[in-house]
Each structure stands twice: as structure tokens, then as C-alpha cells.
Structure 1
Amino acid sequence: MRTAERTLTRDIGALGVAVVAVGASFGAIAVASGLPAWAVVAMSVLVFAGGSQFMAVGLITVGNPFAAVFAGLLLNARHLPFGLAIADAIGQGWWRRLVGSHLLVDESVAFAMALPAGPVRQRAYWSTGVTLFVAWQTGTVLGILLGGSVGDTDALGLDAAFPAGMIALLLPSLRDRDTRHVALSGALVAVLATPFLPAGLPVLLALSGLLLAWRRLPVAGRR
């Protein structure tokens, strides 16, 4: 058991280091896009959703805040079934549910679900959630300081950090063949729609790639 806990601690720590790097990319991109530092920090603290925050900054800076909110809600709709699946890991009490639900991210759910129910699952969930929350805020602040101290952000390649960060967040899920098909279909729709629609809408249309996954379901599974 101690060996398993040491392995868990090591994995969570390594993940935290990676999250600091991605958070720094987010902070630098956000301030370079014109958002005030306080708004960037507030978004990281109150939203705490890496992929949604990257998407929101991209859509807000092109003048489409409605699409940013709508896309963020759709992207994070998966948290509803996640919450049901790991309710026991969060624990009882209103404060634990309030704070625990805010720490609910893909990684904290994955670490918790990989362990049997009980105290060990709770420790895994809370350790992962708290570590990643602190790492994300730290990275965001570092990114803000970096972005604010650089005159020409494009010269450092910060314009490429947004797509690089998104790819890094997506890579683990692309191991599944069906997921790859859905992602490629959605990307193709977005690329084709970009010349004809306002910024932000092609991203929403990319969700049509989910229809491919629905069509692959057995007839009974569509009901």
C-alpha cells in the first residue's frame, strides 16, 4: 500500500509540474491578448478549467463572448456524470461538496476512479485536485509576469502556445480510435466553416463531430 501511495504522489507531482507549464502559457497568452491581469487571475481561480479557459480567451479576444460562454458550458458538461461517479471520493458535508466540486477536473477524477472506494480514493481525489489547483494558479501568475515583461510576445512564439497547449490537453484522449475520428471530423467542419462564419461559430460547429460517435452507437444506445 505504501508503494502504491508513493507512486501516486510521484505521478501527481509530475502532473503538477506539467500543469504549471500549461498554466504559464495560458497566463502569457491571456495578457498578451489584452485581458487585464486581475481578470486572468480571477478566471483561473473561479473557473479552473484549462481547456475552457484557453478557448474562452481565444473567443473573447475576437469579440465573441457569447460563443466563449456557450462553448465552455458544452465543453464542461461532462462534469455532470463525473460528479455522480466520484461522489463518494468528495465526501460528506456541504463544504466538502462545494470545494470538491470546484476541484473536479479530468485528472482528479481519473486518479480517484483508478482506486477502490474508501479513504484511499478520497486521498487521491483531494491530493490531485489541490495540487493541480495550486499548480494552475502558480503557472497563471508566472505567465502573466512573463507576458507583461515582454514587448513583442510573437517574437517568443507565444502565439503558438495556445494551439500547443490545446494539443497537449487533447493528446491523452486521442489514443482512442473513435475519439480521433470525432476530433478529426469536428476539426474538418471548423476549418471549412472558418472562411464563411464569424469567429467562434466554427468552433461550436465542430461539435457536429459528435454525430459520428452517435451514429456508431448500437440502435439501443441512441435511445
Structure 2
Amino acid sequence: MSATECGPAAGEAPSAPAGDRRAAVRDGLGVGVAVGLSGLAFGAAAVTAGLSPPQACALSLLAFTGASQFALTGVIGGGGGLVAGTLGAVLLGGRNALYGLRLARTLEARGWRRALAAQAVIDETTAVATAQEGRDAARAGFYTTAVTLYVMWNLTTLLGAAGAARLGDPEAIGLDVLGPAVFLALLWPRLTADRAGAGVAMGAAVIAVAATPLLPPGVPVMLAAAAALPALVTRGGAR
């Protein structure tokens, strides 16, 4: 038997030791809890934008991608229509499809498990999974992050929405700034990650500022998000 037959297949990482898997689980728990707490801000921002607590919770349950959710509620809160807000959210969420291509061979999910895994392919789960050494550790990190963050995000969305609804008028105490503030916090690492990302961000900002006085609410967000599509296509092709 040759050395090639004995070792792992070309391009595949060997299975990780138990210690690496435990480290991946710790990473996933930490990221899931830390990021999940921002669901409080989303729940409050969604109610401030005009959504009911059940609508805010349904959005977190079904969409489960923070930047897109904040973009949608931001458009609605600014007077834009549901169609414009949804299209902008979909454009922002398009990057998750490229993440899925990156993780497909690592997760090797089939059937209904593939659909569940696709729902959990977001920035945080991808970051934790790709930071691990070995396929087993990557899977452990991905699923730990996914479950922890999904539970935390939906729980805190409920708490934030219910709390904001009980206040009567969230804008009166300044909760209307939570949506834009947390949205910026979610995007900031992507703006500073590399020069290409910063260039896309600047281009999107210029488009949004120029279009805001001329177009209805929601349309500038869609145009700004579209500015990132060439970079996504180029990066996806490279991968």
C-alpha cells in the first residue's frame, strides 16, 4: 500500500485530536454567546421600526443573519416598503452562499441535514469553522457556534422586542439609534479587514449618500448593497 493510500485524501485536513475539538467547542460557545447578546438590540430596533414582537421573532427564526435583519428593519423604519427592504436584505445575505461553497466539503451534510446546515451558514459560524485545524474540529466549531448563536439570538430578540414594546414609544428614550449603531458594529470588521473590503465599503457609502435625496427610502440601501456584488463574485471565483 502506498503512502498516498495510507494518508488523507489530497486537499483534505486530517481529523483533529480531541483537544482541538474541545477548543473548537469553546470558541463556538464564546462567539455564540457574545454575538447572540446583540439580539437584544435587534429586538428593540425592530419594534422601534414598527414591527410587532411576534414579527421581530419570526424574522430572527427564519432569516437568522444579523446584518440583513438590521438592514430590513432600517429600511422599514425609514419609511421604505417591504419589497425594497427585503431585496436589500437578500443582497447583503448573498455572501452566505459563497460561505456555503467554502464549507460544503467540510460539513458534508446530506438530505435534511444539508438544509439545516445551510440555515446556519453565516459570518460567525464560517469564521469559527475555518479557524480550526482538521475537519472534525471545524465541524465541532461550526455546529457549536450555530446552535449557541441561534438559541441566544432568538431568545434575546424576544427579550429586546418585548421590553421595547412595554416602553410605549422607544424613540422617546433614544432606542431608535440602536439599529444603526449595531448594524455599523456588525459591518465594521468587514470595513477594516482588508483594502478591497474598505474600497467596497467606501463605494457603497458614496452610492447611498448620493442616492438618498433622489430616491425613495430603501432604494439607496439596495444600490449600496449591489456595489459589493462584483467583489463577491470575484472572491467567490478565486475560491
TM-score if structure 1 supplies the norm length? 0.86
Question: 1:33 is matched by which residue type in structure 2?
Answer: A
User: Does the 8 Å contact 1:88/1:117 carry over to 2?
Assistant: no
**Structure 2 unaligned blocks of 5 or more:** 1-16
Q: Following the alignment from structure 2 to structure 1, what is the Cα–Cα distance between the partners of residues 90 and 226?
A: 16
Question: CA offsets per residue over residues 73-98 of structure 1, 9 Å max, x none?
Answer: 21122222221211133333312111
Q: Which residue of 1 aligns with 2:10?
A: none
Cα gap change, 1:98 to 1:212, in 2 (>3 Å): closer
Larger relative contact order (Cα-Cα within 8 Å, sequence gap ≥ 6)? 2
Query: CA 1:16/1:149 → structure 2, altered by over 3 Å: closer, same or farther?
Result: same
Task: Render the CA deviation track for 1:32-79: whole Å, top value 9, x for unaligned.
Answer: 222122111111101111111111112234141111221122112222
Residue 67 in 1 paired to residue 84 in 2? yes
1:171 and 2:171 matched: no
Aligned residues: 217
Percent identity reads: 38
Change (3 A) 1:144 1:211: closer
Gap regions ≥5 residues in structure 1: none
C-alpha distance in 2 between matches for 1:207 and 1:57: 15
Q: Distance in 2 between matches of 1:213 and 1:149?
A: 43
* Partner Cα distance (1:149, 1:79) in 2: 35
SS in 2 for 1:86: helix
Residue correspondence of structure 1 range 123-202 to structure 2 within 5 A: 123-175=140-192, 176-202=194-220
Residue 67 (structure 2) aligns with: 51
1:37 partnered with 2:53: yes
d(CA) in 2 for partners of 1:209 and 1:92?
32
Greater C-alpha radius of gyration: 2
Q: Is residue 99 of structure 2 the alignment partner of residue 82 of structure 1?
A: yes
Q: CA-atom RMSD, angstroms? A: 2.4
* Structure-2 separation of matches of 1:41 and 1:105: 18
Aligned amino acid, residue 19 of structure 1: V
